[in-house]
């Protein structure tokens, strides 16, 4: 057991490996490409995170949930990169995640009674508030786990050095959190974006479902990125048309 752990995570604690990566211009070019890859592949993750945090009543709680989610993502990323070769078999996680995302989107569009829980969480010092807050943080962590699998596998295909992949992933996670916060701010200014975000959550769930081995239809990240940009542009145009009326 100890030998397996040493084989998987030994390179992270090799000082020579870190020195070699930090002093290599070539490795920094690869790290830069991995950061770009992480950002492109994490657009869907950022959208899901932004929609998840919206259920919290204050901006402070929303930002706090992303902060805790950030540290959880770092710890998980470290564990996942070491075990990256085994992740290809975890398609069941994708299936569960895709069903959950589709459920979130369908639930948003179905007519429902006013949520009593939403009233309970106002006044963020009470017990109900903190319990609900940590439930949102757990959801954020689960989404991080789900989206990290594809991202890590893609990164390991670019570089087999786990230290290079780890640095690229860590910087990429910060960039992705920045995108999520930008989307949150945008949602406040353009309320229609919240509806659009849940449409995208449904599409992301569908995209994830199609990628499981039984179906094996992979929608390119670039195509999805273009779709997201077009959806945001159309929603902003609709917002200004409605505002004029």
Q: Does residue 172 contact residue 35 with C-beta atoms inside 8 Å?
A: yes
Q: Does residue 23 contact residue 159 with C-beta atoms inside 8 Å?
A: no
Least trusted range by pLDDT, from 6-15, 17-26, 181-190, 204-213: 6-15
Residue carrying the six token digits 């899901």? 48
Residue carrying the six token digits 């699998």? 149
Residue carrying the six token digits 């004029």? 244
Least trusted range by pLDDT, from 64-73, 118-127, 191-200: 118-127
Work out the number of other CB atoms within 10 angstroms of the CB of residue 75: 11
Query: Is residue 97 over pLDDT 50?
Result: yes
What is the mean pLDDT of the segment spanning 224-235?
86
Q: What is the pLDDT of residues 117-167, one digit of tens each?
A: 444 444 444 545 677 888 888 888 887 777 776 677 667 666 768 888 888
The model's pTM is 0.67
230 or 13: which leads in pLDDT: 230
SS3 49: helix
CA distances to 4, 166, 217 from 82, rounded to whole Å, are 10, 9, 27
114 or 45: which leads in pLDDT: 45
Q: What is the pLDDT of residues 30-41, one digit of tens each?
A: 888 778 767 666
pLDDT for residue 117? 47
| Percent of residues, the chain, with pLDDT higher than 70 | 79
């Amino acid at each position: 057991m100890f030998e397996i752990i040493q084989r998987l995570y030994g390179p992270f604690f090799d000082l020579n490996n870190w020195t070699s990566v930090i002093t290599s211009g070539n490795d920094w070019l690869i790290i830069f490409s991995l950061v770009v890859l992480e950002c492109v592949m994490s657009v869907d993750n950022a959208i899901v995170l932004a929609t998840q945090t919206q259920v919290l009543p204050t901006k402070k709680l929303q930002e706090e949930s992303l902060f805790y989610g950030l540290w959880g993502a770092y710890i998980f990323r470290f564990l996942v990169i070491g075990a990256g070769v085994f992740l290809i078999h975890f398609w069941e996680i994708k299936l569960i995640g895709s069903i959950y995302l589709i459920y979130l989107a369908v639930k948003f569009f179905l007519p429902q009674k006013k949520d009593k829980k939403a009233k309970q969480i106002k006044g963020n010092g009470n017990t109900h508030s903190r319990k609900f807050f940590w439930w949102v943080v757990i959801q954020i962590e689960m989404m991080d786990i789900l989206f990290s699998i594809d991202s890590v596998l893609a990164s390991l295909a670019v570089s087999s050095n786990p230290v290079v992949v780890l640095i690229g992933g860590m910087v990429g996670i910060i960039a992705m959190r920045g995108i999520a916060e930008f989307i949150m701010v945008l949602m406040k200014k353009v309320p229609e974006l919240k509806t659009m975000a849940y449409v995208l959550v449904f599409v992301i769930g569908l995209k994830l479902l199609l990628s499981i081995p039984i179906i094996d239809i992979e929608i390119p990240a670039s195509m999805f990125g273009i779709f997201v940009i077009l959806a945001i542009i159309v929603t902003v145009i609709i917002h200004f048309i409605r505002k004029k009326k």
